[in-house]
Chain A
Amino acid sequence: MTIAIEARGLGKQYLRGSLAHQRLRTLRDALSEWGSRAFRGRHADGSAGRVERFWALQDVSFSINEGEVVGIIGRNGSGKSTLLKIISQITAPSAGEVRLNGRTGTLLEIGTGFHQELTGRENIFLNGTILGMGRAEIARKFDEIVAFSGVEDFIDTAVKRYSSGMQMRLAFAVAAHLDPEILVIDEVLAVGDVEFQKKCLGKMHDLSQGGRTVLFVSHNMSAVDQLCGRVIWLDNGRLVEDSSDTYAVTSRYLFGRKEQRKTAEWRASIDEGMENEFFTLRWFRVRDEQGATIDTPIRNNETAVVEIGLSVRKPDPALTFGYALTNEAGVCVYWTSTEDAGYGHRPQITAGNIILTSVLPCGLLNQGVFRLDFMSAIRARQWLVHPNESRSSVLLRISGLAESQYLRNTWPGVIAPALRWNVEHPATTEAQNASV
């Protein structure tokens, strides 16, 4: 198999607070620095020492085969964008080297070079050329691009008259027709509405099926999970993990503990224990009906049981337990607790070891990764464990909705309930009634 991208010992050094520092650096500073260096001989250390240097990317090596679709994940500032900028030749590395085998196309932003005064037609040629297409190639794909964008009627109108949605569709249409051997994409999916993102994902899926090498930076873990056959995790400019087990890596990344393998289960013995004057939390997990911890994606209509293992020290009638469910966008989907049941139907919390269970709502959650944060309180008096500060969290991944053909794309909405639909036929019913 041919290697498409090979990085060896790649590093990039920046000056700390470089932008602020450098903007203020005027010609006079440079001249006076140069002058004083010339006069005082080799006193360069003094002036160089003022500037603090740091590595935005350090000693990153990997090699990617032709046709691989690789996701790059990491927190903000972890060096993802720097890596893409080096690979796409926008900025030079400070150390190491990259070998590229094939025509490279970069998509760090949608609509690079779009000019507001120009018409849609002119912008297609401008943007397409800048992205690396030839004039003949654009001319050949022109009708297709226009049709894909859906702005046919405005193609000879200045882009400044477009709505932002139209501009984005046009820009994406051009980008989607870019046809390089190696495609480098940064966070393009972060913009736009759900429909647009879905379109992007669909196109990305096509691209990845087409045998093209794709390097894809995203914060959208389910997109990475669905599209990429391999994932590279960067942290503080260093490569933390490089694995084809995307699910395991993205889960560990989301969970933020790379040393812990099981993210679907929290145990007091593994992590720091959680105890207070009322109880000790022994474990917190999501399991299936047979009692096995769920650590692979499930469909949203499979049975999953949230289980809380406790050792209660001081039973209190107002002692409540529950969990908060948050999706990967950080949106709280719901809170639930032992208080949900009406008075008299709540579970009896007794001293000693108890296990609380609650079945996850079936056919309700949308696709994605969810975090369950354990919570506990004394009703109406005090928080014992607030979900936002909970150190006991587990992850659950939903992949595939109930009875739906939309297996690959996320259905719009925070939840995706499978609801029952009925049909009535009033005319026939009336006719039947009349005949009776």
Chain B
Amino acid sequence: MKIIRPIDDRRLVGELADLWRSRGILAVLIMRDIAIRYRQAVIGIAWALVQPIVTTVVFTLVFVVFVRLPSSDVPYPIFAFAGLVIWQYFSRAVSDGAQSLVANASLITKVYFPRIVIPLVAPCSAAVDCVLAVAALVVIALLFGANLQWTAAFVPLVILFVGLFGYGVGLCLAPLQAIYRDIGIILPFALQIAMLLSPIVYPATIVPEGVRWLYRASPIAVMADAMRWALVGSEAPSSLGVVVSLALTVALLWGGLHIFRRLEGTLVDRI
């Protein structure tokens, strides 16, 4: 017996159970995303590698050749590539996640399935590109003579963490974007600024001492540092940063689920 009431009084557990029951829908939506992204493209899924590689080359040119950044223990291209892979995954998960309800408006106005599935599609399908890029990163790192450590086992965890963090942000932004389109306008700009302010393509060591702790605690920096640490054994992210990031992820997921549940019922009327 299913009861439909004005205010959804399901518990969070019920919502998660719904999500589990609709894993089939999640799977087909992810497949759809992956299938259509590179269909009718000549080099197909290889595009997933072109973007981070070209970006890495450009940043290497800028920071190593033009700016002459002080060299560190990790070769700059590896350093930048590791940061960019994480960043591009995060920014795709967030921007596609935020757009997801609007992009699937024709679906959610015609059929019901738990709506929390929708912002989850972007982090999952973008993870495929991310995994491919990480594989390329491993190959390049080996070419540069790096030795893989036991810490490499943490790479999947880092990717999972970035995905969950992205899902949390997407959950908060997607219903807001559905109602206020401002989000979609601000977001690309905000992401660009966040990337420039984060130690993705430059090390936190070039940042003045006074604000370095802020850099250490930023979840994006923690994610990039964790990736570099896991793959090429550079300095591990600060434990403060890890704790803050994990706490923030949990808070985002929890808050996102609540925002989502509050807006879910009448979302269709306002999209």
Contact = CB atoms under 8 A, between A and B. Distances in A.
A112 B110 contact: yes
A22 B263 CA distance: 14
Contacts of A132: 111, 113
A100 B5 CA distance: 11
A27 B182 contact: yes
A85 interface: yes
Contact of A130 (B36, B107, B182, B269): B107
A100 B180 contact: no
A130 B4 contact: no
B189 interface: no
A26 B39 contact: no
A154 B125 CA distance: 27
Contacts of A87: 4
A162 to B, nearest CB: 16
A418 interface: no
A130 B183 CA distance: 28
A50 interface: no
Contacts of A14: 269
A375 B145 CA distance: 96
A104 interface: yes
Contacts of A118: 32, 35-36
Given A14-B269, A99-B1, A113 B24 contact: no
Interface stretch (A90-98, A215-223, A377-385, A409-417): A90-98
Contacts of B180: 25-27, 30
B265 interface: yes
Nearest to B39: A117
A278 to B, nearest CB: 55
A360 interface: no
B110 A134 contact: no
Nearest to A108: B110
B266 A131 contact: no
B45 interface: no
A221 B5 CA distance: 31
B235 interface: no
B208 interface: no
Which residue, A91, A100, A122, A131, has most C-beta atoms of chain B within 10 A?
A: A91
A1 to B, nearest CB: 16
A388 B5 CA distance: 45
Nearest to B186: A27
A88 interface: yes
A101 B1 contact: yes
Given A92-B8, A130-B28, A22 B3 contact: no
A420 to B, nearest CB: 49
A103 to B, nearest CB: 9
B111 A131 contact: yes
Nearest to A119: B35
Contact of A109 (B31, B110, B113, B268): B110
B49 to A, nearest CB: 22
B187 interface: no
A100 B113 contact: no
A113 B27 CA distance: 14
B196 to A, nearest CB: 24
Given A118-B36, A122-B35, A93 B5 contact: yes
A296 interface: no
Contacts of B68: none
Interface string B135-165: 0000000000000000000000000000000
A42 interface: no
Contacts of A86: 4
Contacts of A95: 6
Contacts of B27: 129, 135
A28 interface: yes
A95 B27 CA distance: 35
B266 A104 contact: no
B4 A125 contact: no
Contacts of A30: 180
B11 interface: no
Interface in B113-140: 113
B112 interface: yes
B25 interface: yes
Contact of A90 (B3, B108, B179): B108
B181 to A, nearest CB: 8
Interface in B12-54: 24-25, 27-29, 31-32, 35-36, 39-40
Contact of A28 (B4, B110, B182, B183): B182
A315 B202 CA distance: 102
A233 B107 CA distance: 28
A181 B181 CA distance: 39
Contacts of A109: 110
B110 A90 contact: yes
Nearest to A186: B110
Nearest to A182: B2
A100 B110 contact: no
Interface string B189-203: 000000000000000
Given A98-B3, A118-B32, A122-B35, A113 B107 contact: yes
Given A22-B179, A25-B180, A130-B107, A94 B35 contact: no
Interface in A67-120: 85-101, 104, 106, 108-109, 112-113, 115, 117-118
Contacts of A85: 268
A126 B28 contact: yes
8 contacts: A27-B180, A28-B182, A94-B6, A99-B4, A100-B1, A113-B107, A117-B35, A118-B32
Interface of A: 14, 18, 22, 25-28, 30, 85-101, 104, 106, 108-109, 112-113, 115, 117-118, 122, 125-126, 129-132, 134-135, 158
Given A97-B3, A98-B4, A122-B31, 10 more contacts: A27-B180, A90-B110, A92-B6, A92-B264, A98-B3, A108-B110, A109-B110, A112-B111, A118-B32, A122-B32
Top-10 shortest CB links A-B: A92-B265, A89-B112, A27-B180, A27-B182, A98-B4, A100-B2, A117-B36, A112-B110, A129-B28, A91-B268
